[in-house]
Amino acid sequence: MVLEIRLYGDPVLREQGKPVTEFDDKLAKLVEDIKETITTEDAAALAAQQIGEAIMLTVIDFSYMLERNYPIDFDYKYDGKEVPLGLLMPLTVINPKIEYSSEETDLMEEGCMSFPLGVRPSVRRSKEVEISFQDVQGGQHRLWCNGILARCVQHEIDHLNGILFIDHASTQDLRRFESKLKKIKRHTRDLMKQRAKGKK
Cα separation of 141 and 60, whole Å? 15
Q: What's the Cα-to-Cα distance from 50 to each of 14, 27, 57, 59, 165, rounded to whole Å?
A: 10, 16, 10, 11, 13
Asked if residue 156 lies in contact with residue 133, where contact means CB atoms within 8 angstroms, the answer is no
User: For this structure, is 178 an active site residue?
Assistant: no
Asked if residue 49 lies in contact with residue 12, where contact means CB atoms within 8 angstroms, the answer is yes
Q: Backbone phi, then psi, for 95, in 5-degree steps?
A: 50, 50
C-alpha angle with apex 162: 111 to 10, nearest 5 degrees?
A: 75
Cα separation of 172 and 121, whole Å? 10
Asked if residue 63 lies in contact with residue 89, where contact means CB atoms within 8 angstroms, the answer is yes
Q: What's the Cα-to-Cα distance from 98 to each of 48, 120, 181, rounded to whole Å?
A: 18, 24, 29
- Number of alpha carbons in the 13 Å side-chain half-sphere of residue 149: 28
Active-site residue identified among 32, 67, 156, 178: 156
Which positions are catalytic?
156
